[in-house]
Amino acid sequence: MEQEPIRIAQVVGKWLGGGVEAVVMNYYKHIDRSKIQFDFICDEDSTNIPYEEIEKFGGKVILIPPYQKVFKYHKTLKKVLKEGNYKIVHSHINTLSVFSLFAAKRAGIPIRIAHSHSTTNKKEKKRNLMKQVLRPLSKLFATDYMCCSEYAGRWLFGNKEYDKGNVYLLNNAIDIDAFKYDENIRKQIREELNIKDDTLVIGHVGRFVEQKNHTFLIDIFNEIHKQNDNSILMLVGQGPLKEMIEEKVSKLGLKDYVMFLGQRNDTNKLYQAMDVFVLPSLYEGLPVVGVEAQASGLLCILSDEMTKETKVLGTTKFKSINKPALEWSNDILNNYKEYSRENQNDNITKSGFNIEEEGKKLEEEYIRLQCE
């Protein structure tokens, strides 16, 4: 008789189409689903869950009350986990995993993974306070730890645990063939979006939230546009601060030069149409969009408030968000002049971001945990 796959409860919180969800889905698509299956436990106020794709692959989506309704959340999650008879729960909600893994412990789940996808920044005062309060509790109900980068692992679980080798590093790997540079796709997308061949396209992919620092990104683009009026800014994503950013763009007289493309399922193609990728985030663990942009052969200028492992290509630059927007724009324009774009598949694979290889490693790790 054929053995049933190991079914793992993936707690993803609010599915809003962000980087964490992209990483979990990347692994789900490339794991051997005859051995490992995922069920996705999401908050019921999620907005971008790919139900059809998940069900096609044999997974389930289970909606529960959001964690803000603490007692309802706990009761429902505990019931779901018990009834699902899971052996492994993998929680992706950073410091909030204390809530999901407490419910998992109460449900008698033997393997409870806390996964660190992010860090923090002092500029996000309110969020930061909650993170710092919950951070010491992050290990309380977890039996195993995972992280997307050394920085994120040390931040949530501490240097001692990391140095002892107790934190499994799971790279934010991607399907490299979907992102490799393709001149034909570049032409096609630019035509569709009515962008001329010689227009400089500055690109950004990310939710409109404080962490992504769009307000500073607009300042940077404003300086670029003063020096090169044949330039546009392409913004991909949704989020609560979008309207505020649109207002800022209008006030600066940049309305005709900033494209708000919303939530898209073809970001791999949109990267082809860009020339420079700029990510001035207040903080990151290891941003999957940074890996995707480099896999597309783009010149990338990134905030230095993220893990250094994000840098895959020698051409990628880190820059302080405390430096003025003019300095960022000068760097972008000067570096772009000497830049030539090429296929980066080998470099991405060598750096451990090829999902084909990393998916097999995760498969082995789940099987090892189950067998312990």
Tokens found for residue 143? 């039996």
In the chain, DSSP finds a helix count (H) and a strand count (E) of 16, 13
pLDDT at 129: 58
With contact defined as beta carbons under 8 Å apart, do 13 and 93 qualify?
Answer: yes
* 3-state SS assignment for residue 331: helix
Beta-strand relationship, 276-279 and 299-303: parallel
Cα–Cα distance, 79 to 195 (Å, whole number): 52
What pLDDT tens digit does each residue of the chain (372 aa) get? Answer: 568 899 999 999 999 888 899 999 999 999 999 999 999 999 999 998 999 999 999 999 999 999 889 899 999 999 999 999 999 999 999 888 899 999 999 999 999 999 998 765 555 555 555 556 566 677 889 999 999 999 899 989 999 999 999 999 999 999 999 999 999 999 999 999 999 999 999 999 999 999 999 999 999 999 999 999 999 999 999 999 999 999 999 999 999 999 999 999 999 999 999 999 999 999 988 999 999 999 999 999 999 999 899 999 999 999 999 999 999 999 999 999 889 999 999 999 999 999 999 999 999 999 999 887
Amino acid identity, residue 154? R
Tokens found for residue 157? 């679980």
pLDDT at 281: 96
Tokens found for residue 336? 């772009």
Amino acid identity, residue 342? E
Q: What's 4's DSSP letter?
A: P
Q: What's 284's DSSP letter?
A: -
Amino acid identity, residue 257? Y
Cα–Cα distance, 178 to 175 (Å, whole number): 6
* Whole-number Cα distances in Å, 187 to 166, 183, 200, 275, 357: 47, 6, 14, 12, 31
pLDDT at 19: 85
